[in-house]
Structure 1
Amino acid sequence: MKMPEVLKVILKYGIAGMMVIISIIPFYVLLYLSLNSPSGSMFQGMFLMPDFHLNNFADAWEGSKLGKAMMNSIIITFSAVTVIVFVASSAGYSIARFRSKGNIAIFNTLLACLMIPAIIITVPLYTLMKSIDGINTHWAMILLTATNALPLSVFLYTSFIRTQPKEIEESAVIDGCTYFTAFWRVTFHFLRPVTSAVVILTGLGIWNNYGQAVFFLQSQEMRTIPLAVSMFFQTYGAKWNLMAAAALIGLAPAVLAFLVFQRFFIKGITAGALKG
C-alpha cells in the first residue's frame, strides 16, 4: 500500500474513532455519575472510576416514582406505535400501488405536514382535548402522538413499498384474495425493514415526548418518563448521582428497543431513496 493511501486509511479511521469517542463521552459521564456515591465527585478515588454505589438506582426509582411513569410510557408508546404501523402501512400501500390524483394530493399534504412542528399546534389541540375530556387520559395522548407521527411514517412506507415487486401480491389477488388480504398476508411480510425504522423513529419520539405531554398529562398519576424525570430533577437538583440514575433508567427501554430493531433500521431508512 502506498504511503498516501496509508495516510488516507489512518485519517479515515482516526476521524471515525474520534467521532465514536466524542459520542460515548456523555454516556460514560452519565453512567459514572449514576454509580458514584452521594458524596463523590468526578475525580475522587481512581481516575474516572465510580464507587459503584448501586443504591442510587433504587433511590431514584423510589423517589421519582418511575414505576408508574414507565407503565404510562409503555402503554402510550406501544399503543401509539401499533396504530401508526397499521394506519401508515395501509395508507402507504394504497398510495404506492394505486396512483390517482386523490392519493397524490393526500401524499403531498402529508409531506407538507412534515414541515409543521408539533409544538406549534399545541394550544389549539389543548382546547380541543379539553372540550372532549381528553386531558389526563391515555387514549387522547395515544391518538395525539400517533397523528403527529403519521406523515413521516406514511412517507417511509410509501417510498419502501414502491421498491417492492408487485408480482407476488398480484398472484395472491388472482388466487382470490382481496387487495387488503394480499397486503397483510403477503406484502406486509416484506416490510420488516421499514417497519423497524418506523418503530424506532416514532417510538423514540413518543417515549421522549415532553413538550406536549406536559400540557396533556398534568396529573401525577398520568406522568410519563420525561415528566417524572423532569420533576425529579426539580426536586433533587443538587444530587447528581440520583439524577443520573433516573435518567439512565428512563433511557434503558429506548436503548433496548433500538438494539432489537437496529438490524433493519438503516435498510428501512435508505431503501426508498434507491428506487422510485
Structure 2
Amino acid sequence: MLHTSESALNRNKEARRALMLVMLMLTSLMVSLVPAVSASHITQYAVQRDPSHLSVGDLNCDGHNDIVAVSEMGHFITVLYNDGSGNFADRQDVFISNNASQRAGFVDTANSVDVEVADIDGDDVNDLVYYQENIRFVGESFVRPGNLTTMWGDCSERVNQWDNTEITVSNPYHIGMEVGDIDEDDNDDIILITMDATATNQYIQVYRGTDPSLLTNQQSIPVPLTNGMYMEIRLGHWGETVQGSGLPGGSLGDCEDLDLFGSSEPRLTTPGSEPQSDTMTT
C-alpha cells in the first residue's frame, strides 16, 4: 500500500481548504451581482471623438428612437440606428464639413457643438438640427460666424442623403439650443442663446418652422445682462393663467404654452460684483 507522509497530507488538506474558501468567495460575489445584472444592461457604442451633445428620435420612420451625436473639432456627426431591439450597431457617420472634399483637413473642421431631433416642417417626419461653431484660427482678426443647419427628414433615405438648409448665425458664440412649438402652429421652432463677437452682449435667437431660413421667421431678442450671462435654457410650461380662450374649444387657462427658462451665471469680467450663480429667469 502507498503511504503518504503526514506533511503531504497536511498540504493536501490546506489546498482543499483554500479551494473551498475561493469557491465560497466566488459564489458570494456572483450572488451579490445578480440584482445588478438583472436590473440594468449597458452597451457602449463608438462615435466620433470628443462628442459634445446627443439627441434621440425616430430618424428612419420605423417607430424606434435612434441616436445622433455631434463632436467637437471633427468633420462628421454620427447616427446610430435602433434595430428595434435596443441594438445600435448600425452606425453612420455623416460628413458635414464646409469643405466638400473627403480630404478636408484641420482648417475645415466642422466643430458641431449641439444637435436636436424635431419636426421643423410639420410633415410628421423628424428632422435634424445642428449648430456648427466655426473655429477661429491663430492669426485671424475676426470671429467666424456660426452655422445652423436643418437636415430635412426623409423616410425613404438614410440621414446622409437628406437635403439640408444652412443659416449663417451672426452672433458666433453658441451657448445653448432648444426646439419646440412656441407659437402652436404644429411646427417645431428653434431657439438659440448666443453671444456676439465681443462676448459682452447676449441674444435669444428664434427660428420658426416651417422654414427657419426665411427672414420673416427669424427674430433676435437682446438679453438684459442684469442677472449675469445666461448659460442654460429650457422650454417648458410655467403654468400661468392665459388671458383668453386658450386652446381651441377650451376655457380660460387651458392654454399650455411654451415658456423659456434661463439660468444665469455672474459675469466673469468683474468677479465679486455680480449676482450669485443661482438666478433663474422665466
TM-score (norm 2): 0.21
Question: Structure 1 or 2: larger strand share?
Answer: 2
Q: Bigger radius of gyration, 1 or 2?
A: 2
Structure number with greater CO (CA < 8 Å, separation at least 6) is: 1
Greater per-residue helix proportion: 1
